[in-house]
Amino acid sequence: MTEQQTRVLLADDQTLVRTGFRMILGAGGIEVVAEAANGAEAVAAVRRTRPDVVLMDVRMPEMDGLEATRRILTDPRADHSVRTEEPPLPGRPRVIILTTFDLDRYVYAALSAGASGFLLKDVTPEQLVSAVRTVRTGDALLAPAITRRLVQRFTRHGSDTAGLHRDLASLTPRELEVLGLLARGLSNTELAARLHLAEATVKTHVARILAKLRLRDRVQAVIVAYETGLVSAGEREAAEQP
């Protein structure tokens, strides 16, 4: 295995789905190190194979994907008090939730548990490969259409964000600019191009934003940007227009 190769665990109770994803990822140069048909198998496989990324279905027998995500990402050996832009610790992979629009409530709970993002099951092969590579580098996967629903749900009910630190006064002007663009769905690479900065510099800015605001990850940062009025839904929709 080369140093750059990403190792993935597939967790889905449908054999055909796992087979299809394995073929797609393999063609994209990504190694599938294990498969699981339920959440309990996924947790055990993560401990055994230490993948970089887990593709996690929600509805599975014995243990669902939400509970499995919680168990995978709450390893007592790791400190979860602060999330950074650095790659995950060994044995503590990034988790991508596989879902459909009618499973919104599970998506929000999974993101609260520490998942790095979510994908619809009808993604194209190119989108699947890109998603795995994106979260492996430390980015959260914030698909625009689903992120709008995410923000609406959190800001309407507030239960999962009640403890977020929302004072943006501690951020520098540049950090505010980065947060605003991040909330519009830009990746680190896109942020670097927009701001004419090195990608490493962007990662530093994002890490400082998360630390100053005591946020777990980029998903929470997006929510705070909306809740504080730094970004509005209208601004995001305008930014998504070609």
Distance separating alpha carbons of residues 159 and 242, to the nearest angstrom:
34
Q: What is the pTM of this model?
A: 0.67
The 10s digit of each residue's pLDDT in 143-179 is 555 666 666 665 555 444 444 446 788 999 999 999 9
Taking 50 as the pLDDT cut, the residues of the chain under it are 1-3, 75-91, 158-165, 235-242
Is 135 within 8 Å of 94 (Cβ atoms)? Answer: yes
> Which pLDDT score, from 0 to 100, does residue 43 have?
93
Angle between helices 218-227 and 173-183 (to 10 degrees): 100
> Which pLDDT score, from 0 to 100, does residue 226 have?
77
Query: What's the DSSP call for residue 187?
Result: -
> Which pLDDT score, from 0 to 100, does residue 136 have?
85
Domains of the chain: residue spans and CATH:
7-141 (3.40.50.2300), 164-240 (1.10.10.10)
